[in-house]
Structure 1
């Protein structure tokens, strides 16, 4: 089974829900499952490659922290059909979309920082989620503590925050009159694979860490804006009142078009991703 097929996005209806002044804080932005799935195949490929390095054969419990709309969590159930698979996400919109799938997975709204399983789990997956958690390196011991002895912790985070798709948003948001509304919005961040390896190896795990830069070929009008408006740029876009939001979006689109010109085959978006698979030592409890 492959992730949800995105197909062409030429007809995607782009709608950003604007906030009134002062309405959105660091944790108050919302997510749009349909927009997120616009490039579901491209977003899903790292999950499949991460999962391919997890060596669990017959886990009893598998948890997906930051499951989003559930299209990838379903792959966990397909790989381990006898396991209890549980998807968690802090977004009620994403969980509602996941539950609508009817795929036999249990989905719940939860903040991964507060999540406590009733018993240690055999496989704990976090795909493209931890970048939204400030100081998430400090959270790794806690997450590993929820994994059973001999179990697996697998994570993937974007590593492209120095690319124009992010720096343009950051620089534009720092300009007036936008800065007054955007200075406290959530901004994703991550670390190099060696740092994750060092932390988890120091906790007694055997660790496989690597990075891959994908060259996504995108089509349709302003495809890089379509991509980032569903993820990294969404909190900024939602933080702006309607009048400023329209101005910001127009300038953001123009700068992205200049940074990512269309070629013969479409618009190429280089995207670096960081992967870590850690196996907990046998006999090591919580």
Structure 2
């Protein structure tokens, strides 16, 4: 049966976004998951009547580098707290001339070039393959675009996010390679985040906030932390306004997501019932309960 419960907005804050203005009835919650600890405690509350859960991706104070993020614990913790829609806010570099610092890009595609991260909740004893042709929720993307238009924020509706491992920035050769692939922006955090959100049957959308031109642009200084931070501060203020504008729009949803985000596991689990590992079923209970509740 499709998941048609009331929407709960999860916000994953990237560089510079460590809190949410205007959140009421707030409480920091420590969440334990079968995959270890998430990046930090999660902040729960209500924003304009909308239930919201906020997770600082790198921890408060930006303590955790991209490759050491526990992506599985982060998404699992959001799922445990009832999140049905995720807005991922991420600082990125631009790979296109027409996307200068300060531009927001509502991502619709990713190229995942990370290699040192656990990318699935599933494994031996319970195998699943979710569809990822459309890795973000277009319904959620439309709502984000609507909010950006209301705020008059410079933005682009669609774009491809090149996800690199990091933590170092690109070489010029790498940057030019990614440009030749048609990528719009480059960052270090949205994979496997988007893949895991799909496995957890949560709508997911990314707002990529441009902070720099990476290192390919001959008329701009190469990317540095000092230069990035200056733009991050301004972008973070805009991101908080975006969340406040988006929140009341999230509640308007008739049943489960029509794109299938909330039912992604319906035809994804490959392991025959008689061969499913009870330990894996127990570990993934929060993830597979809707699909395998009766048979697990």
Bin of the TM-score, shorter chain as denominator length: under 0.3
TM-score by length of 2: 0.27
TM-score by length of 1: 0.28
